[in-house]
């Protein structure tokens, strides 16, 4: 997809479709939609439509007008972003994504979207529009024999004539990198497990790293044994036919200071059957997405390499299947993690925290001074927060606050949950140091407490993305399937950290 910039008068732009953002200015339940454009010809062209009441300003509402009077555009698409008083860059992402999905379904190949006149600074608006367009362009139906290729080839962002064109172009370029990284992640997560084994995931990470200039090392079972990654190995031993892979990606700009070094650690379970503690058959096919945390780290590293922040970053993905077999670990087994801690296995379906335990410890060994992990870790976080917020846990308030500030730029929703010492009692074992599952109550918290055992005093953030990594129902701006969360937040945070060096 090509993104171009124009400073022509919107009404004079010759395009297949001109897209205008709409917001509701009403404080009451009765809508009062307003076009976020100061072009009088556009206001006149849409006047009858607005007067009809068909346009309400409700978020992601689309209304198409053919042959609009007084415009060179052949169509006018009004896309609503909700209330004007809360209008944000994230609303623009949704507007852009909704426009892409609506227009490509009509086999249009190009359109122009006018920067809104209110609510969002121009550069932020341009970046958000590009990110939203990439989100909207993705469809998961790879393997349908009758798949119809519908895509937008070119989007023109229309800015005022007095705009800072260089700054807008820079914002477009950043949005393109982030949008492509998010879709790269979604592509990895979307693949079925027979086409996204640990080996294939590692190969994709290596090819990406070679393309963008990252250092990348791929290790197999022999290295895990050498490193004494007993927790990671314990999960992998149930699937010897698909050997585990330890993926290590490094971004090391020459002028970056020695510290901080950020470690990004992702859970890469390419299929999670639950192991001996096998999952119910209903919905198990979706367990191909259990590597979404690892995929997010690979996607984030892709964008980081292209954006070139002045910060050292290490990306680690622990990739394996979790399968039942004669060699699989069993409930009651005791495993030794790389750190030396012993773990009693209560439930083999609590496997993500096992691979992350060794991944987090290894990141520290490689020099990471700060850690973020991402994983589809618990169903409990979905019960707590639904399919709206990522569950965030941290042992360091300052580190968390800096990360939380990046969410304004990313638009991704997250909510902090506790990791207090009182919860540690729940993960104590009678036979080993800790158990890998503490039962039903507070399951997302006890999973985080388990991970906390392996980070020590290192500032750390844990992102439980189980509820948001997969979109259960299509939205006007995004298809059903993988979301690519939390790529944008990770990238925005790294950009912020790098800007301080």
* Separation between Cα atoms, residue 58 and residue 81, nearest integer Å: 7
pLDDT score of 29: 82
**pLDDT of res. 168:** 98
**With contact defined as beta carbons under 8 Å apart, do 120 and 128 qualify?**
yes
Cβ-proximal residues to 281 (8 Å cutoff; 6+ apart), any chain: none
CB 230, CB 338: distance < 8 Å: yes
Answer whether 92's CB lies under 8 Å from 21's CB: yes
Distance between CA atoms of 347 and 351, rounded to whole angstroms?
A: 8
Domains and CATH numbers, the chain: 2-159 (3.40.220.10), 179-499 (3.40.630.10)
Whether 224 and 234 have beta carbons less than 8 Å apart is answered as no
**Element containing residue 445 per DSSP (H, E):** helix 443-452
| Active-site residue, selected from the candidate residues 72, 228, 279, 402 | 279
Residue 167: phi and psi, rounded to 5, are -65, -40
Q: Retrieve residue 225's tokens.
A: 């044994």
Residuewise pLDDT in 10s, the chain (501 residues): 999 999 999 999 999 999 999 999 998 888 999 999 999 999 999 999 999 999 999 999 999 999 999 999 999 999 999 999 999 999 999 999 999 999 999 999 999 999 998 879 999 999 999 999 999 999 999 899 998 889 999 999 999 999 999 999 999 999 999 999 999 999 999 999 999 999 999 999 999 999 999 999 999 999 999 999 999 999 999 999 999 999 999 999 999 999 999 999 999 999 999 999 999 999 999 999 999 999 999 999 999 999 999 999 999 999 999 999 999 999 999 999 999 999 999 999 999 999 999 999 999 999 999 999 999 999 999 999 999 999 999 999 999 999 999 999 999 999 999 999 999 999 999 999 999 999 889 999 999 999 999 999 999 999 999 999 999 999 999 999 999 999 999 999 999 999 887
Sign of CA dihedral 254, 256, 261, 266: negative
Position 28 scores a pLDDT of 83
- Residue 423 has which token pair? 């919860």
Catalytic position from the list 288, 353, 488, 495: 353
Quote the crossing angle between the two packed helices 89-104 and 122-137, to the nearest 10°.
40
* Nearest C-alpha neighbor of 242 from the set 216, 211, 281, 273: 273
Specify the pTM: 0.97
b/e per residue 187-224 (b: at least 16 CB within 10 A): bbbbbebeebbbbbbbebbbebbeebebebebbebeeb
**pLDDT confidence of residue 419:** 97
- Reply yes or no on whether 93 is catalytic: no
Nearest to 21 by CA among 87, 106, 67: 87
- pLDDT tens string 376-428: 999 999 999 999 999 999 999 999 999 999 999 999 999 999 999 999 999 99
d(CA 48, CA 308): 49
Q: Annotated catalytic, 288?
A: no
Judge contact between 361 and 454, C-beta under 8 A. yes
């Amino acid at each position: 997809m090509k993104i171009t910039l124009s400073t022509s008068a919107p009404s004079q732009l010759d395009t297949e479709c001109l897209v205008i953002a709409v917001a509701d200015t009403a404080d009451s339940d009765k809508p009062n939609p307003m076009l976020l454009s100061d072009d009088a010809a556009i206001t006149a062209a849409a006047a009858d439509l607005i007067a009809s009441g068909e346009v309400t300003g409700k978020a992601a509402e689309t209304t198409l007008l053919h042959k609009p009077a007084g415009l060179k555009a052949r169509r006018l698409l009004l896309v609503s972003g909700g209330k004007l008083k809360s209008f944000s860059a994230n609303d623009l992402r949704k507007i852009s994504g909704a426009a892409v999905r609506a227009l490509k379904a009509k086999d249009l190949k190009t359109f122009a979207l006018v920067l809104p006149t209110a609510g969002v600074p121009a550069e932020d608006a341009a970046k958000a529009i590009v990110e939203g367009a990439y989100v909207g362009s993705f469809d998961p139906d790879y393997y349908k024999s009758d798949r119809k290729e519908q895509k937008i080839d070119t989007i023109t962002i229309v800015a005022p004539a007095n705009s800072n064109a260089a700054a807008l172009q820079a914002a477009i370029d950043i949005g393109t990198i982030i949008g492509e990284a998010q879709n790269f992640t979604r592509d990895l997560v979307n693949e079925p497990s027979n086409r996204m084994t640990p080996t294939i995931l590692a190969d994709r990470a290596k090819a990406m790293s070679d393309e963008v200039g990252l250092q990348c090392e791929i290790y197999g079972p022999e290295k895990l044994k050498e490193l004494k990654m007993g927790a990671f190995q314990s999960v992998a031993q149930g699937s010897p036919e698909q050997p585990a892979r330890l993926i290590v990606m490094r971004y090391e700009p020459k002028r970056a200071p020695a510290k901080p070094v950020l470690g990004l650690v992702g859970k890469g379970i390419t299929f999670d059957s639950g192991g001996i503690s096998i999952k119910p058959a209903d919905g198990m096919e979706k367990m191909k997405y259990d590597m979404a945390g690892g995929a997010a780290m690979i996607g984030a590293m892709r964008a980081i390499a292209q954006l070139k922040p002045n910060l050292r970053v290490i990306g680690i993905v622990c990739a394996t299947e979790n399968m039942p077999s004669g060699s699989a670990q069993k409930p009651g087994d005791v495993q030794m993690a790389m750190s030396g801690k012993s773990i009693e296995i209560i439930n083999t379906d609590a496997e993500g925290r096992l691979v992350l335990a060794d991944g987090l410890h290894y990141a520290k060994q490689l020099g990471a001074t700060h850690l973020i992990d991402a994983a589809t870790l618990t169903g409990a976080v979905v019960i707590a927060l639904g399919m709206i917020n990522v569950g965030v846990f941290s042992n360091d308030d300052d580190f968390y606050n800096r990360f939380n500030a990046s969410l304004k730029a990313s638009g991704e929703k997250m909510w902090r949950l506790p990791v207090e010492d009182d919860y540690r009692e729940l993960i104590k074992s009678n036979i080993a140091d800790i158990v890998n599952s503490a039962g039903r109550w507070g399951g997302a918290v006890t999973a985080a407490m388990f991970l906390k055992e392996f980070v020590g005093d290192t500032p750390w953030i844990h992102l439980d993305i189980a509820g948001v990594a997969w979109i259960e129902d299509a939205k006007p701006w995004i298809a059903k399937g993988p979301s690519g969360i939390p790529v944008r937040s990770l990238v925005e945070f790294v950009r912020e950290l790098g800007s301080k060096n």
